[in-house]
Amino acid sequence: MALRVWVWFAVSALWVGLGGAQQSEIVDRIVAVVNSDIITLYDLNRAFRPYEANIKALQYPADKERQTLFQVRSDVLNQLIDSQLADQQTKQAQISVSQKEIDTTIERMKEARSFTDEQLREGLAAQGITMEEYRKEIESQILRTKLVNREVKSKIVITKDDIKGYYESHQEKYAGDKKYYLWNIYIKASPVDKDRALQAMMGVESRLKRGVAFETLVDELNAASSSIQGTDLGLYRREELSEELREVVTILKPGSFSDILDTSFGYQIIFVQNIQDTAAKPLEAVEAEIQQLLYDEFVDNKYQDWLEELRSRSHIRIIN
């Protein structure tokens, strides 16, 4: 789990209802014991619900969806255990948060998202969350941030040698580079209609070879709501492209397009609108960037080590 402390805005909170008029069901139970504290089924369901909705929206095959839901639910439970351990440590260390700090965090969030106070309250109400519950969640997040600063961040030192070593071992990142401004025209093809899709793309290819501008053809196809569509993909470095596109793109000149490509995405024609060359970056120009990258990496690693050590001396029991 990469360490990034975020203030959660969308926290789903939905009580499990009673089923049947004649017989009541258990609406909550303990799913984990963490030292002297517990995590309930309600806690787990509330934290898991946003992930569940996203996974189901991907429309995986039934088996893959079931496996993914199971794995993510397990990951969420482990995250809740880690959060519980962190909360226990904040209490033990007597770390506190003032109401002013909570107010400041809320105001920053509202400013970043251009929310009014009324819009924030409406958004929370739509999720079934009261302002009091929201403030409590923010308080927990700030407490964990302070704990991380105390237990992890304050013990990290990045040296000049660390920065230089990273720079020298990542020359491909800081050397002169090329970026390709790409467009594509594509059609998704199932095994059943693959031949028909290829014929349609051959018609597009023919028009391009006759001199129709790629951008113009994209606009025309999109406006016609055709099964063939086009996209302004934007700038990409070679290593950011899929393997199947890298070799194709690097041999194309500005203003040229590829043959019809049979890719995992479907049939595509790639167009390189232009190529931008960037100059190499000296160490002095990227020193601050590298320092932050190393700092984040060290924090993540140290935090994981700290959590593992904390887990090893804690009583944790997961109840299936």
Instruction: Say which CATH number the domain at 214 has.
Output: 3.10.50.40
Same domain, 200 and 303: no
Where are the extended beta strands (E) located within the chain?
Answer: 30-34, 37-40, 177-187, 229-237, 256-257, 261-263, 266-278, 316-318
- Bridge partners, residue 268, by sequence: 186, 261
**pLDDT given at position 19:** 36
pLDDT by residue (tens digit) across 177-220?
788 999 999 998 777 688 888 999 999 999 999 999 999 999 99
The yes-or-no verdict on residue 6 having pLDDT over 70 is no
Same domain, 183 and 246: yes
Domain count, the chain: 2
Same domain, 259 and 205: yes
Same domain, 137 and 40: yes
The yes-or-no verdict on residue 71 having pLDDT over 80 is yes
Is residue 163 in a domain? no
pLDDT by residue (tens digit) across 273-282?
999 887 788 8
- In whole angstroms, give the CA distance from residue 24 to residue 2: 41
Is residue 36 in a domain? yes
Same domain, 38 and 145: yes
The yes-or-no verdict on residue 175 having pLDDT over 70 is yes
Specify the higher pLDDT residue, 72 or 1.
72
Same domain, 67 and 104: yes
Is residue 2 in a domain? no
Same domain, 269 and 299: no
Is residue 261 in a domain? yes
Average pLDDT over residues 254-269: 91
The yes-or-no verdict on residue 298 having pLDDT over 90 is no
Provide CB contacts within 8 A for 210, sequence distance 6+.
none
The yes-or-no verdict on residue 7 having pLDDT over 80 is no
Same domain, 142 and 207: no
- Bridge partners, residue 272, by sequence: 182, 256
Confidence of residue 5 (pLDDT cuts 50, 70, 90): very low
- In whole angstroms, give the CA distance from residue 236 to residue 270: 13
Is residue 303 within 8 A of residue 157, CB to CB? The reply is no
Q: Rounded mean pLDDT of the chain?
A: 85
Average pLDDT over residues 267-278: 91
- In whole angstroms, give the CA distance from residue 26 to residue 16: 9
Domain of 35, in residue numbers: 30-158+294-318
64-68, 103-107, 137-141, 279-283: range with lowest mean pLDDT = 279-283
Is residue 301 in a domain? yes
Is residue 231 within 8 A of residue 184, CB to CB? The reply is yes
Is residue 111 in a domain? yes
Percent of the chain clearing pLDDT 70 (strictly above)? 91
The yes-or-no verdict on residue 269 having pLDDT over 90 is yes
> Which CATH number fits the domain that encloses residue 131?
1.10.4030.10
**pLDDT given at position 296:** 85
Same domain, 65 and 129: yes
Provide CB contacts within 8 A for 152, sequence distance 6+.
3, 299, 302, 303, 306
**pLDDT given at position 84:** 92
**Total-model pTM:** 0.50
pLDDT by residue (tens digit) across 10-55?
333 332 333 333 344 456 899 999 999 999 999 999 889 888 988 9
Is residue 271 in a domain? yes
Same domain, 240 and 303: no
Specify the higher pLDDT residue, 9 or 44.
44
Sign of CA dihedral 164, 166, 169, 171: negative
Same domain, 267 and 302: no
Is residue 13 in a domain? no
Same domain, 77 and 142: yes
User: Whose CA is closest to 9, among 146, 138, 103, 132?
Assistant: 138
The yes-or-no verdict on residue 253 having pLDDT over 80 is yes
